Structure 1
Amino acid sequence: MTTNNEQTVINDIIAGNTNAFAVLVDNYKDMVFTLALRMLKNREEAEEVSQDSFIKIYKSLSKFKGDSKFSTWVYRVAYNTCLDRIKKHKRSQTHIPIDVFTERHIKTIDNALDRMEQEERAQAIQNCLQLLPSEDSFLLTLYYFEEQSLEEISKITGLAANNVKVKLFRSRKKLAVIFSQQLEPEIIESYGKAFR
């Protein structure tokens, strides 16, 4: 949906055409659900938070001023709704030490993944993302899968772009630790030898 079409739909909704909201929901439901699932790690909670997010989007649609892309604003609402849910349940975050791995280890793991079949690789990434703490999984999803820029992620999370960059780097290191624990050690080792 183009920006102009999106703005027309938004204007229709604000003017009272509640049926037009279904267009926005259809356009963003998968994205919102995926991000909620990454943060909450629970399908039912992600579904509930997705619904809550769309209720908030509907109620505050008139507050969208167009300072950012509409998708960025939707991400922000979903992100904050997830944070509220996490705080409400005071969920403890998984701690993954990142000092254990060097850049060479990360490169070795990246090279091992590059050699895996595309489908296996996608499944391995999805499985490992589920094991990351919520914020790390969310940031990696936004940057690598939703292809959001650092500036867009900054607007979504309320963090400075430099802080987002640092968090992405740390999240990637944590993901490398998880990959090393989840992938067959001999696969990693055999690819590691090839790149020494």
Structure 2
Amino acid sequence: MLTTNEKELIKKISNGNTVAFSDLVDGHKDLVYTLCIRMLGNREDAEEVSQDVFIKVFTALRTFKGDSKLSTWIYRIAYNACLDRLKKSKKERMRVEVDHLKSAAFSVMDNALDRMVREERSVLINSCLAALPAEDASILTLFYFEEKNLLEMEKVLDLSANTIKVRLFRARKKLAAIMENKFDKETVGSNG
């Protein structure tokens, strides 16, 4: 299932080419970090686990059989690393911090308004995802944000497609309930 480029990249890395490994990291770091932040809910932990993931990728790359996409294999390592961290820490998930915009001058008010709406939506989604159990947040992240199909998710999560469908359905219901509750509180709070 590996592409010719992926095979060549793995060969270069196995031969000690650090630039090739840097290319691999650059190609997957954002998606690994996104999965880690969604599962762990803490920026510092997500950064640390993301780094650990790529160390594991580097050391295990020679044993990678190529029976799945390289990205799927890397996400599987990231997913398992996050589960290990959650088990190890045994503490409540912290809410995802959302970066605040740096003060910037906008030439057109519409642009500023559009950006605020997108940011509010992002804050709302992140806070609602953070309220979910880690496994629910990760399955929604893989499906919607990483745009993984069921076959890829089977390999990452080591679950059957039917089980993933059921978990996706349940996670969506939980997320919808959390979002509905949050909207109700915001509506009541703004009127009172």
Q: What residue number does 1:56 align with?
A: 56
Q: Is the CA contact 2:42–2:93 (under 8 Å) kept in the aligned structure 1? A: no
Q: 2:41 & 2:186 partners in 1: Cα distance?
A: 29
Q: Which segments of 5 or more consecutive residues in structure 2 lack a partner in the other structure? A: 95-116, 188-192
Matches within 5 A, 1:121-140: 121-140=121-140
Matches within 5 A, 1:31-50: 31-50=31-50
Matches within 5 A, 1:1-196: 3-91=3-91, 120-184=120-184
Which amino acid counterpart does residue 43 of structure 1 have in structure 2?
A: R
- Cα 1:175–1:27 change in 2 (3 A) is same
- Name the % identity: 55
Which amino acid counterpart does residue 8 of structure 2 have in structure 1?
A: T
Deviation of 1:67 after TM superposition, in Å, equals 0.7
Q: What residue number does 2:108 align with?
A: none
Deviations 1:46-83 (A, max 9, x none): 00000110000000001111111111001000001111
Deviation of 1:93 after TM superposition, in Å, equals 7.2
Q: 38-47 or 117-126, which moves further after superposition? A: 117-126
* Secondary structure of the corresponding residue to residue 27 of structure 2: helix
Q: 2:186 & 2:68 partners in 1: Cα distance?
A: 47
RMSD between aligned alpha carbons?
Answer: 2.2
Deviation of 1:133 after TM superposition, in Å, equals 1.1
Q: 1:42 & 1:93 partners in 2: Cα distance?
A: 8
Structure 1 stretches (4+) deviating beyond 6 angstroms? none
TM-score, normalised to structure 1's length?
A: 0.77
Deviation of 1:124 after TM superposition, in Å, equals 2.2
Report the number of matched residues.
165
Q: 2:90 & 2:120 partners in 1: Cα distance?
A: 34
* Secondary structure of the corresponding residue to residue 74 of structure 1: helix
Q: Is the CA contact 2:130–2:137 (under 8 Å) kept in the aligned structure 1? A: yes
Deviation of 1:166 after TM superposition, in Å, equals 0.5
Deviation of 1:172 after TM superposition, in Å, equals 0.4
Deviation of 1:132 after TM superposition, in Å, equals 1.2
Q: 2:186 & 2:123 partners in 1: Cα distance?
A: 19
TM-score, normalised to structure 2's length?
A: 0.78
Deviations 1:17-58 (A, max 9, x none): 123110011011110011001111110000000011000000
Q: Is the CA contact 2:40–2:93 (under 8 Å) kept in the aligned structure 1? A: no
Which amino acid counterpart does residue 140 of structure 1 have in structure 2?
A: L
Q: 1:17 & 1:119 partners in 2: Cα distance?
A: 40
